[in-house]
Structure 1
Amino acid sequence: MSAEVRDNGWLRAMPWVFVLIWSTGFIVARFGMPHAPPMSFLAVRYALSILCFLPWIWVAGVKWPVNRTQWLHLSVTGVLMHAGYLGGVWAAVKAGMGSGLSALIVGIQPVLTAIWLSAMGGAEGHVSRRQWAGLLLGFAGLVLVVSRKFEHGGAGDHADWLNLSLAVLALFSITVGTLYQKRYVKACDVRSANTVQLLAALVVTLPLALLEVESMRWNGELVGAMAWSVLGLTLGGSSLLYLLIQRGAAAKVTSLMYLVPPCTALIAWLLFDEPVTVFTVAGIALTALGVSLVIRPPKTV
């Protein structure tokens, strides 16, 4: 097998590997949050991730961003896509929201992205009627599931205005961060770019962590959650997201988020016995149909 064939195969597999890794982020939050406050956990996660990236950058001879403008743009995306997004998700889970529901709320990102791109126009701005139908179906699936969680959510898996607001904060942060990165961040090595983003996220998150009164209670679950957060999610998932945004159209890349909730719901059901009702299945089916409409290539004559 030639190197070109292997590279093409890896590029095709990247989105699906990303979906699988990204889905575990909501599961890890459920494992870690009973034993730690959200901002303290994330501050430690960012610090450990930076310590992993720095020797990798040094050994590989990776170049850093070339000017202060690039550092600034990467810092903005770091605050949005790490501090804002992860802070919102983890705080929502700490406040009682289930893994599946938090994933589903953040999964509305493609709708916001498509609306913005359509409004701005340009090469990526055109969203076809079929794609709009898919985006709206995904939104309908989200509404269906969330409405039932308000009525029937149980302990550790319910929606209220506090955790819903935190999840919406995460949603807007990842959406704006993705669009900002696509618009302003020039292509550079993912390792140095991710490190700059993490440094900015740590600067914002650490003061919030120092205000938390709950202490971190280290045990097997917390250590496992931290290890996977650093190695799997930050070094793996965040790096893949950076590469996907740099290589693909923003609307299609973010539509992959619609595939995260079904994966998360299945894992959460297996691990935490989070209920999967008829309405949950119907909502997930709508999102799956929606993403298929968004990412399906147009017919050629």
Structure 2
Amino acid sequence: MPDSTITKSPLPGLYIVATPIGNLGDISPRAAATLASADLIAAEDTRVTAKLLSHLGLRIAMTPYHDHSDEYIRQQLVARMADEVIVLVSDAGTPLISDPGYKLVRDARHAGRHITTLPGPCAAIAAITLSGLPSDRFLFAGFLPNKAKARADTIAEFKALRATLLFYESGPRLSAALAALADGLGNREAAVAREISKLYEECVTGTLLDLSARYADAPPKGEIVILVGPPDADQHEEGDDDSIDAALREALVDHPVAKAAKTVAKRFGLERQDIYARALAIKGEASNDAAIDIAPK
């Protein structure tokens, strides 16, 4: 039975097309057909996309669309979507995943244009399947900031999250990024995946510090994904009195005192009886404040 999703004359609009992250054989038939039907391809780097088009035997008009593209270029593309098939691609993988594009999609949607996506390769998803780290819950966080202070602040946001963390990184920054992650999160289990789907694909696992040392004097080439495992079940969040009380107040909004105390005690690794007493005190303060608010003036 023929695939009804592939048509010779697709509707005018925006087509978000995932392209191979390495092996050009990963292009899907539907993606190839959509590229062939395009009136214009908006490409992150036209030189990179030209190689894919050459592999497919296609010659399609292209225009650059990247981080530095301004609003005028976006509006020109959105205007053309009324009557033409505009295809958005990044250099590799799924557009908008740590790549430019969301503003174009947003503006096209506001203009009422037809928008569809053609799913396919994504380095972050491919890497987590290779890593052996927990994949039931994960967070993709793109590239870490360049400056040490901003990088440390960003890493600190993820410390309490019980999920596998995914980052994109470059070879020259890899060792320092791994060391910064170890400093901010603890020396967790991790993986470095690179050259996915290519001849020299590899996924190296170990602790963050082991991996940092491995790449310190030999920065690798290619596209790199860092994966950091979640904290151990018995690893507790550090917190002072103010942060513990804040956590209790938040928990008490939706839970009775006993359950709120149990949750916060487990989170910070503290004695449940002590936290229960603090929860009762906070609950009492809240009740007194409410009584004052409704008292006759």
TM over 0.5: no
Look at both structures and tell me which one has the larger radius of gyration over its CA atoms.
2
Under a length normalisation based on structure 1, what TM-score does the superposition of the two structures give?
0.19
Q: Which has the higher helix share?
A: 1
Q: Which has the higher strand share?
A: 2
Under a length normalisation based on structure 2, what TM-score does the superposition of the two structures give?
0.19
